[in-house]
Structure 1
Amino acid sequence: MSENSSAPVTELEESNADSQITSPENEQNADLADQAATHEESFNTEEIPSADDPSSRVKKYDFDGAGFSLEEFDSLLGKYDYNFKPGDIVNGTVFALETKGAMIDIGAKTAAFMPMQEVSINRVEGLSDVLQPSEIRQFFIMSEENEDGQLSLSIRRIEYQRAWERVRQLQKEDATIYSEVFATNRGGALVRVEGLRGFIPGSHISTRKAKEELVAEYLPLKFLEVDEERNRLVLSHRRALVERKMNRLEVGEVVVGAVRGIKPYGAFIDIGGVSGLLHISEISHEHIETPHSVLNVNDQMKVMIIDLDAERGRISLSTKALEPEPGDMLTDPQKVFDKAEEMAAKYKEMLLEQAEEGENPITSMEV
């Protein structure tokens, strides 16, 4: 065998040769293996905290440097905890007008409802007469939340409260108001003041008209009683007229009047639209049993004013002070009327003298 001839290759040598041949797949697998080995070396399980390790928990915030305490923070949140209760007055926004009422947003979890009858203290044709969508105004909470979490509201209650406040102030000022009579009954007449129903007793209506004819008329009125708890508002037409008349009258003045009514204790004399009382003791110096023995209804006569009581709305009159001689009203009433102004002048002089001496001028009624 020559030197150049090839020697046979054994199986071991072939196997070693194959191991030295590198394919692309083998290179990729080798790279993945190297990466896994490297990751394993860098990953240390001892660095993972356990569940019981305090360092693994979320740190609590320290409020000491926040500028306020936890109590103050709770108090601040409480301001935004809307706890609505009956009797409260709250601001609300109108967002829906319905047939039976209005839906109002007051910031509660459910829209509040205001019934039609609670929209105003006055009579209205519809909700739109008082409310407009998106309007913001105050509302009175009438009741607790119902089963749906809805509150009931009212505007009428607010107007009602403010109306009583207003009439109390008017009474305190002794103001004269004007109001329209909307109905009458056996006891008197009914009016509305600031939306409240008021009553004028028949004895405080000073007019020649029948009560039924007063409907739709505006009358001057003064307050007699203002009682919110009893819901009583009583007024006087007579007092208002007397006060107006009193502003132009004075004690000692002679006025012409007509007898409008006769009672056992005296006669009511109409003097320019207001009534004055001619008491039985002021008709004459002589004693008389009854005013009917001297006076008749519709008699025209002269009387002198002896007292003006604005607070009670009363005008006191006298013919006794006009008698030239005691008893003239019984024997010659015409003489009394003819000399009325002359006797009145003497009466005024007497009042002045009594005033200078410090006496009560009203005692002149007994002269």
Structure 2
Amino acid sequence: MSENPASKIEEKNPEKETSIPEETVSNATIAEFEENSITELKEDDIPKNIPAADDSSSRINKSDLETAGFTLDEFASLLSKYDYNFKPGDIVNGTVFALESKGAMIDIGAKTAAFMPMQEVSINRVEGLSDVLQPSEIREFFIMTEENEDGQLSLSIRRIEYQRAWERVRQLQKEDATIYSEVFATNRGGALVRVEGLRGFIPGSHISTRKAKEELVADFLPLKFLEVDEERNRLVLSHRRALVERKMNRLEVGEVVVGAVRGIKPYGAFIDIGGVSGLLHISEISHEHIETPHSVLNVNDQMKVMIIDLDAERGRISLSTKALEPEPGDMLTDPQKVFDKAEEMAARYKQMLLEQAEEGEDPIAVMTI
């Protein structure tokens, strides 16, 4: 009777138990085991020229690195790229991996996860972190502070948006662009709007509308830039300038327009000409001297005026009735005569402008003749 092959294995390894139960071992299993067993090395199979561990010939020489295509200095420079040194003011890429009630945990490759507070998630108002961030999202973050005692950095998205918003606003001002923005609040001095997420102010003197300021909330207004100062956090805009520019595209110096007196000041009267306001200075009412505009004009008076200057940069339209007087003093004695002959006098005025321009003189000097 033949011996059980499994017993031979046990005899060869008396101190080692097989992990395969005897009753499950088959001839095929044993054959596979023997076929895959490690062959014992013979002395002739070992190389004769292996250096010892303390042999200097086994160490890498500087020349070996040079022949490899880069120097030790280049190797050190390569390693320095992975020596992360995070500083406040840096902008880094990070991965969102947790959204919490007070902020978000961000992996930026530092030894500890960085934290972004809720108030730093956006320059605009948001209901929650999920309005801006999603788990696993990769984006840029601004480092606000040094590491705290736990080795954690504080991050911000709002700071990045703030910097880029000022850059865009400066570019818009440089291009003298007209923008549209919604009024979200008013105060005694004017109206408040947001431009690229930044808070802007429209002084009351630069709001051209018949509405009360309180009624402007939620209205979208065309606006021009008056002041862009990031250091002082001042963004001042003009509704009047935007309207004047639009109107100016259809107006020209020497043109007669119909307007209504909307306000009278000691220095002159403001005339509404098709939705924009022009100034009829006291010196431009008549050739004759007058003490106050109130002696000649009343609020809501309808009248004809001539445009004598268009200042798009300052958003001003200058008007005159003096240049329309057939005789000096007619605005004081017979205003209707002035309005009846306005177009005729304007044509003469334009001719004088042309002559003055050909002679190289100041056209505005014509008005004083």
- Provide the TM-score with structure 2 as the length reference: 0.83
Amino acid at match of 1:302: K
| CA offset digits 1:152-208 (Å, max 9, x no partner) | 110000000000000000000000000000001111110000000000111111111
Instruction: Kindly report which structure 2 residues correspond to 1:175-190, keeping only aligned pairs within 5 A, or say none.
Output: 175-190=177-192
Question: How many Å separate the matches in 2 of 1:359 and 1:149?
Answer: 73
Q: Retained in 1: the 8 A contact 2:121–2:132?
A: yes
Between 345-354 and 87-96, report the one with greater CA deviation.
345-354
| CA offset digits 1:122-176 (Å, max 9, x no partner) | 0011111111111111000000111111111100000000000000000000000
Is residue 356 from structure 1 mapped to residue 355 from structure 2 by the alignment? Answer: no
Is residue 103 from structure 1 mapped to residue 105 from structure 2 by the alignment? Answer: yes
Question: How many Å separate the matches in 1 of 2:309 and 2:293?
Answer: 20
1:243 to 229, 233, 245: 245
Structure 1 residue 240 displacement after superposition:
0.6
| CA offset digits 1:294-318 (Å, max 9, x no partner) | 0011111100001111111111100
Question: How many Å separate the matches in 1 of 2:60 and 2:343?
Answer: 100
Name the % identity. 91
SS at match of 1:120: coil
Question: How many Å separate the matches in 1 of 2:76 and 2:251?
Answer: 70
Q: Retained in 1: the 8 A contact 2:180–2:220?
A: yes
Tell me the residue number matched to 1:277. 279
Amino acid at match of 1:299: D
2:96 to 94, 97, 103: 94
Amino acid at match of 1:286: E
Question: How many Å separate the matches in 1 of 2:308 and 2:282?
Answer: 14
Which protein is bigger by CA-based radius of gyration? Answer: 1
SS at match of 2:343: helix
Tell me the residue number matched to 1:29. none
Structure 1 residue 61 displacement after superposition:
2.1
1:365 to 361, 364, 367: 367
Question: How many Å separate the matches in 1 of 2:55 and 2:90?
Answer: 44
SS at match of 2:83: coil
Amino acid at match of 2:240: R
Tell me the residue number matched to 1:198. 200
Tell me the residue number matched to 2:313. 311
Tell me the residue number matched to 1:337. 339
Is residue 320 from structure 1 mapped to residue 322 from structure 2 by the alignment? Answer: yes
Question: How many Å separate the matches in 2 of 1:80 and 1:56?
Answer: 31
> Any runs of at least 4 consecutive aligned residues in structure 1 with deviations exceeding 6 A, and if so which?
none
Question: How many Å separate the matches in 1 of 2:275 and 2:367?
Answer: 24
**Change in 2 beyond 3 A, CA 1:58/1:138:** farther
Structure 1 residue 364 displacement after superposition:
1.5
Q: Retained in 1: the 8 A contact 2:106–2:116?
A: yes
Q: CA RMSD in A?
A: 1.3
Is residue 63 from structure 1 mapped to residue 67 from structure 2 by the alignment? Answer: no
Tell me the residue number matched to 1:12. none
| CA offset digits 1:233-256 (Å, max 9, x no partner) | 000111111111101000010001
Amino acid at match of 1:62: N
Question: How many Å separate the matches in 2 of 1:73 and 1:254?
Answer: 79
2:225 to 207, 215, 223: 223
| CA offset digits 1:299-352 (Å, max 9, x no partner) | 111000011111111111000111111111000101111111111111111111
Structure 1 residue 58 displacement after superposition:
5.2
Question: How many Å separate the matches in 1 of 2:198 and 2:150?
Answer: 34
Tell me the residue number matched to 1:253. 255
1:122 to 124, 148, 151: 124
Question: How many Å separate the matches in 2 of 1:65 and 1:338?
Answer: 101
Structure 1 residue 72 displacement after superposition:
2.6
Structure 1 residue 355 displacement after superposition:
1.5
Question: How many Å separate the matches in 2 of 1:71 and 1:358?
Answer: 71
Amino acid at match of 2:63: D
Question: How many Å separate the matches in 1 of 2:178 and 2:219?
Answer: 16
Gaps of 5+ in 1: 1-53
Tell me the residue number matched to 1:28. none
Tell me the residue number matched to 1:136. 138
SS at match of 2:241: helix
Amino acid at match of 1:66: L
Number of matched residues? 314
Question: How many Å separate the matches in 2 of 1:169 and 1:288?
Answer: 46
SS at match of 2:318: strand
